[in-house]
Chains A and B, each alone.
Chain A
Amino acid sequence: GDSVTQMEGPVTLSEEAFLTINCTYTATGYPSLFWYVQYPGEGLQLLLKATKADDKGSNKGFEATYRKETTSFHLEKGSVQVSDSAVYFCASDGGATNKLIFGTGTLLAVQP
Chain B
Amino acid sequence: SQTIHQWPATLVQPVGSPLSLECTVEGTSNPNLYWYRQAAGRGLQLLFYSVGIGQISSEVPQNLSASRPQDRQFILSSKKLLLSDSGFYLCAWTPFEGPGNTIYFGEGSWLTVV
List residues of A whose CB falls within 8 A of some B CB: 30-32, 34, 36, 42-46, 49, 51, 89, 93, 95-105
- In the complex, how many angstroms separate the beta carbon of B68 from the nearest chain A beta carbon? 16
Known contacts A89-B44, A102-B44; is-contact A43 B99 (Cβ 8 Å): no
Q: Is the CB of A100 within 8 A of B46?
A: yes
Closest Cβ of chain A to B31, distance in Å, is 10
Known: A43-B105, A95-B99. 17 other contacts (CB 8 A): A32-B100, A32-B101, A34-B102, A43-B90, A43-B106, A43-B107, A43-B108, A46-B102, A46-B103, A46-B104, A89-B44, A93-B101, A98-B94, A98-B98, A99-B46, A100-B46, A105-B43
Q: Which of B57-114 contact A (CB under 8 A)?
A: 59, 90, 92, 94, 97-108
Q: Size band of the B side of the interface? A: 20 to 34
- In the complex, the answer to whether B44 meets A42 with C-beta atoms within 8 Å is no
B30 located at the interface, meaning its Cβ lies under 8 Å from any Cβ of chain A in the complex? no
Contact check: which of A43, A96, A98, A102 meets B101 at CB < 8 Å? Answer: A98
| Partner pick for B108 among A30, A32, A42, A99, CB 8 A cutoff | A42
Bound-state CA distance A36–B46 (Å) is 15
Question: B100 contacts A49, CB within 8 Å?
Answer: yes
